Structure 1
């Protein structure tokens, strides 16, 4: 095995993990109606796809510890707990999908898990990325940008005057 091949395989795996983390984050913040509509648009529809998915871990709700950093870069500390719902499914083709969402929406966690599994298939991955994940990511980025601009408009600058003695 050549040195270039050895470095490219881990890089490719890291890229695949990063892409999956990205689409899971986007799907977790998406409205349920958009997730359902995306499944309805696929061949067979949502009912057929959900019927063919086997629950490896039924949707359940629990708590997750939220951690923060002092000043954004300091030492980590526990802020508190938040409610999360999760589900794990396996499609007929063997692809497993996971869904973690904030709150108590078990149905949404299951939808995210099914779409995660579908995004890993050659048959649906490209189409779902183009029709669902990329538009949602763009909308979420625009909403974050707008919120940031709104907050920046109300920013107050504090300064200290130095006396010359």
Structure 2
């Protein structure tokens, strides 16, 4: 089935938004706070960055589901704390966030950046100064973690002993 150009554009924009929401959710509060402070220092029109809460940050529990063996039958693994927030910028853009844990500031800043990234005026600036550096740091941390895991890998093998024949 062939997609129309409009459907492809929507699909691409959804994938871009999924990427930045993932980066924001996996970032630390310190990374977002330092990004926010450096971002606002460079912008003289801070009133354009004003926002109000549609849903103040709040914490709840979500059920984490898993699969036996990765592809087997689903089961409830347990509950996890999650915080969410919804903000509306002065220009009407709405940003959402869901982050693991109980950090309300993290949820708030992630929602604000999500709203800014949807606005054509701010999206390129936020992508360059916030999302790209954080995504690069996350990629580096994942790579380091994988190399540490690989270094401790043990290969088990069985040798045939001559006396078993």
Interval containing the TM-score (normalised by the shorter chain): 0.7 to 0.9
What is the Cα deviation at residue 47 of structure 1? 8.6
**CA distance in structure 1 between the aligned counterparts of 2:91 and 2:75, rounded to whole angstroms:** 42
Unaligned runs of 5+ in 1: none
Unaligned runs of 5+ in 2: none
Match of 2:51 among 50, 53, 60: 53
Where does residue 137 of structure 1 map in the other structure? 135
Matched, 1:35 2:28: no
Equivalent positions of 1:109-128 (< 5 A) are 109-128=107-126
> Kindly tell me: are residues 8 and 77 of structure 1, through their superposed partners in 2, closer, same or farther at Cα, counting changes over 3 Å?
farther
* Partner SS state of residue 63, structure 2: strand
Matching residue of 1:25: 22
Say if 2:48 and 2:91, in contact at 8 Å, map to a contact too. Answer: no
8 Å Cα contact 1:61-1:86 kept in structure 2: yes
Partner of 2:65: 67
Q: Partner of 2:148 in structure 1?
A: 150
Inter-CA distance 152–45: structure 2 relative to 1 (3 Å threshold): farther
Deviation at residue 74 of structure 1 after TM alignment: 2.5
TM-score by length of 1: 0.86
Number of equivalent positions: 160
Check whether the contact 1:35–1:112 (CA below 8 A) recurs between aligned residues.
yes
Residues in 2 aligned to 1:156 and 1:33: alpha-carbon distance in whole angstroms:
36
Report the aligned-residue RMSD: 2.2
How big is each residue's C-alpha offset from its partner over 1:35-73, in whole Å with a ceiling of 9 and x where there is no partner? Answer: 223223232587973xx3121111100011112222223
Deviates more, 1:30-39 or 1:121-130: 30-39
